[in-house]
Homo-oligomer: A and B are copies of this chain.
Amino acid sequence: VKALTLARDLRRRKARERQGLFVCEGLRACEELLRSSVQPVAALATAELRATPRGDALAAELEARKLLTEISAAEFASAADTDSPQGVLIVARVPSRSLDDLRRHGPARILALDGVQDPGNTGTILRTAHALGFDATIALPGTVDLWNAKVVRSGMGAQFTHPAISAEWTAFRDFANATDVTLWGADASGEAVESLSPPERLALIVGNEGNGLGTHVRSEVATLVALPIGEAVESLNVAVATGILLYLLRR
């Protein structure tokens, strides 16, 4: 089947970038996708999907939209990338969003990820940024692809509405300079976040799970900020630490 070949191919980041397509797996994420403005192009499902009323309803909707191809469990397993994908995946178009689409004045809260590598953490962070009203999440180089199936799955559909954008560091920094966005970097050596007043237009940059911010990022941000809990910070999961910072810095 053509859709099966496509889904298999899209497990590679290069294929996703070349084709502008991604794969969404699992019941909840697929339901969210169909409710969003993201454009589905094909869907694959096994008999497993129809075993529950909820799955059956999803299958019926995919069928009505002429998207669905039913395949065997073995074929499905050869395309799926997450654990227990529940017998359903949708191939869809990556929303075309860029830094230029972000608001150039007025209050802003932007999150940037500098080398965050775990797909589950990254999806959870996207979900948090969306829930706490951040305007966009920027993936700087070294960060896992935001359209990786595991990120999409753990993001639970956040990036279908929350702008999730990949950018080079210089492009992001130049955008920030040109639009009066102040850059803050999260770093254990920084000032206590609650002792600072966040600027109207702020981007918070968080770094890699083990190594923190890249040296070029660290040297170019206006301020380094920290949770004032000493040693404990290093023991926090990156998604939890980022969640606390986003909560404290939300608009």
Contact = CB atoms under 8 A, between A and B. Distances in A.
Interface in A218-239: 227, 229, 232-233, 235-237, 239
B127 A235 contact: yes
Contacts of A133: 232
A227 B247 contact: yes
Contact of A236 (B131, B232, B241): B131
Given A236-B243, A244-B244, A229 B132 contact: yes
A240 interface: yes
A124 interface: yes
Chain A interface, >50% SS class: helix
Contacts of A236: 127-128, 131, 243
A132 B232 contact: yes
A220 to B, nearest CB: 28
Given A120-B120, A133-B232, A232-B133, A128 B247 contact: no
Interface residues of A, number: 24
A109 interface: no
A143 B236 CA distance: 22
A125 to B, nearest CB: 9
Given A133-B232, A232-B133, A247-B227, A240 B120 contact: no
A153 interface: no
Sorted nearest first, the 6 A-B pairs with minimum C-beta distance are: A240-B243, A131-B235, A131-B232, A244-B247, A124-B237, A131-B236
15 contacts: A124-B239, A127-B235, A128-B236, A131-B229, A131-B233, A132-B229, A132-B232, A133-B232, A156-B235, A227-B247, A237-B243, A239-B239, A240-B240, A243-B243, A243-B244
